[in-house]
Amino acid sequence: MSGSIPSPTRSLRASENVLRIPAFRRLWNAMSFSSFGDWLGLLATTALAQQLAGGDYATANFAIAGVFIARLLPSVILGPIAGVIADRFDRKRVMVIGDILRAALFISIPIVGTYLWLYIATVLVECVTLFWSPAKEATVPNLVPRNKLESANQMSLFAAYGSAPVAAIIFSLLSISATAVGATFGLENYTSVDLALYLNAISFLFSALTIVGLEIPKNHIHLNRHSPSLTDSLIDGAKFIFKTKLIRGLVIGMIGAFLAAGAVIGLARTFVGDLSAGDAAYGILFGAVFTGLAGGIALGPKIFSQFSRRRLFGASLTVAGSMLIILSLQQNLVLAILVVLIIGLFAGVSWVSGFTMLGIEVSDEMRGRTFAFVQALVRISLVAVLAISPLIAAAIGEHTYALGEAVLTYNGAAFTMLGGGITAAIVGQISYHQMKDRPGVSFWSDVLNALRGELGSITLMKNDGVFIAFEGGEGSGKSTQAKLLKGWFEEEGKQVMLTREPGGSALGKGLRKILLANETGEISPRSEALLYAADRAHHVYSVIKPALERGEVVITDRYFDSSIAYQGAGRTLSSSEVARISRWATESLYPILTIILDQPAEIGLSRKKNTDRLESESIDFHNRVRQEYLQLAALDPERYLVLDARRPVTEIHLEITSRIKEMMK
């Protein structure tokens, strides 16, 4: 598992290598400047919309939201068509013509200088971009070897999102220097927005000149490919989503995230104005969002590498929504920027987790239609909230509150963001419970264990089975309770696999003789830990996973925690090291419930007539084992059920089945 997470150094080397390919490097330069132009154009057009509003609060909200709606609507209609064009026409020509058209349109916006043309030009720019983007995406695989495609895609994402903070900084500098530049060049009625739009146009012209010199294969033109209609994609995707709990929770979360994002995007400029700040502050706030987003995308998978992706998605969305609530209450611009940075960070973690899961959890034959459904639904939701949020903000208006000597002013934008934050937090919780993949483990336990890197768990594999483990010291009655539980599940109509460690597989039987036979003699503690890990790895691979994939109940007499207790605490090795070995061996497959049958070590040992190699260890050894079991359970009470093994067998069995019934609800 750990091998799938590239180190920063390895990622850097891979990026450097792919940029050494001349054709891709030129296309990447074009992508970088185009993305920079897109972000700069977005900042400039939203600022221009507010300027054209003439200072009216309600009109400014509607004008800014209108820009975003104009950018989003074409994709709902033209998305599938754009993909067909990219597959049937000369991709280089599509990109070059697209860049020239976008440059011309952005030049025209400040020249015409009207609301109507601002919206018309914005719609046309977005239409052109819809054709440019798939042509670019389809070109990349033709410019790099297959083994470097992942690195090329990473660099493409960096070009797309890494240019946003740069554009924000440039826009802020233009805003600050607007008066000086106008006076220097003798420009009347000059604004920073004008120069931003002209720079945007230049970036697209540079992109066009760069792409003209590329040699791009044209074999695709002769292929007859048909893309499914938007309606068919939506229907197929909807059917799949509604019957799949995980994907349903994921889509609910993504829609909620974009509903909250729509409220922020549509009202950010007026929110900054409410804090008595101008275009420079708006640019900084905009840059903070995407700086946080880039940080979340880059660092989130590394920081939370041992955390369940399914839980991470909902939890990150909940945190982002909670921070949005805090943002809506801010009266200080500096604090607002800091909060926005945190929102972007957790939004980035949620974004990368969500799309990673879509790629992993959805089968290849359904992936395209599912992505089409999600993207269309997200855009429709975003358009809806961009249209509604200004209405809400305008209806709420401006309000002043006196708290003692302090006077606080909150306007419609702040109240609407507050609603967006509450919505995102609630949706994050719903999504978290929809996709909860470890019902027996508390959220905070996962956080603690994941950050320690000891007992954390990567998302569990998909299956319909139930996995339960029995643990405890010698003579505690594990085998008896495991058999009783097997019978109970069978009465419930379940197929049950009863197994044990070591010795649950053909290979394990041989290892069991080596590990437990007295004639084996002394084994070094590290060798013993590795032998148990080898048995467990093969046990999971050959017995446990296949049974779970068949939807069976798997009950094992000893598992992961035995090594932590016996080879860790018992042999005085580092428990965290032993846990890490077992986590790697089992690919972080955890039982949903681990039942620990506890009793004083001397009681269990007194029941043994013939003792094996481990049972023959000292009483101090077995006391350390017992204490380690209890400590594990104390750290993660939801995953463990500790029972007094001295109680009657039937009473213990009833408590076990009661806990399982509660978990399976």
Domains of the chain, by residue range, sit at 1-227, 228-437, 453-663
pLDDT at 53 over 80: no
Per DSSP, helices labelled H in 304-332 are: 309-328
pLDDT at 597: 94
Distance from C-alpha of 535 to C-alpha of 156, rounded to nearest angstrom? 43
Strand runs labelled E in 238-303:
none
> How many CA atoms within 13 Å lie on the side-chain side of 393?
36
| Token pair in block for residue 410 | 């909150």
pLDDT at 157: 63
Contact call for residues 571 and 529 (beta carbons, < 8 A) = yes
pLDDT tens-place string over residues 412-456: 777 878 887 888 888 888 877 767 665 555 666 666 665 555 544
Class level of CATH domain 453-663: alpha beta
pLDDT tens-place string over residues 534-582: 999 999 999 999 999 888 999 999 998 898 998 888 887 887 788 888 8
Distance from C-alpha of 487 to C-alpha of 500, rounded to nearest angstrom? 16
pLDDT at 108 over 80: yes
Beta strand 406-411 with 398-403 is antiparallel
pLDDT at 146: 60
CATH of domain 1-227: 1.20.1250.20
pLDDT tens-place string over residues 166-202: 877 887 777 777 666 666 655 556 667 777 788 888 8
Contact call for residues 139 and 230 (beta carbons, < 8 A) = no
pLDDT at 637: 76
pLDDT at 396 over 80: no
pLDDT at 12: 41
Read off the pLDDT band of 280 (50, 70, 90): confident
Does the pTM surpass 0.85? The reply is: no
**From 304-313, 483-492, 538-547, 614-623, the region with the lowest mean pLDDT:** 304-313
CA dist 191 → 52, 54, 158, 171, 276 (Å): 12, 15, 30, 11, 19
Closest CA to 27 of 213, 274, 219: 213
Contact call for residues 292 and 341 (beta carbons, < 8 A) = yes
Establish whether domains 1-227 and 228-437 are of one fold.
yes
Find how far residue 34's CA is from the centre of its chain: 26
pLDDT at 661: 87
| Token pair in block for residue 663 | 């978990």
Distance from C-alpha of 204 to C-alpha of 220, rounded to nearest angstrom? 25
pLDDT at 543: 93
pLDDT tens-place string over residues 233-268: 556 656 666 666 667 777 777 777 766 666 666 677
pLDDT at 316: 84
468: three-class secondary structure by DSSP: strand
CATH homologous superfamily for the domain 228-437: MFS general substrate transporter like domains (1.20.1250.20)
pLDDT at 232 over 90: no
pLDDT at 13: 46
**For the chain, percent of residues with pLDDT exceeding 90:** 12
Read off the pLDDT band of 44 (50, 70, 90): confident
Read off the pLDDT band of 142 (50, 70, 90): confident
pLDDT at 631: 86
The pLDDT of 572-595, averaged and rounded, is 83
Average pLDDT, the chain: 75
The pLDDT of 493-519, averaged and rounded, is 88
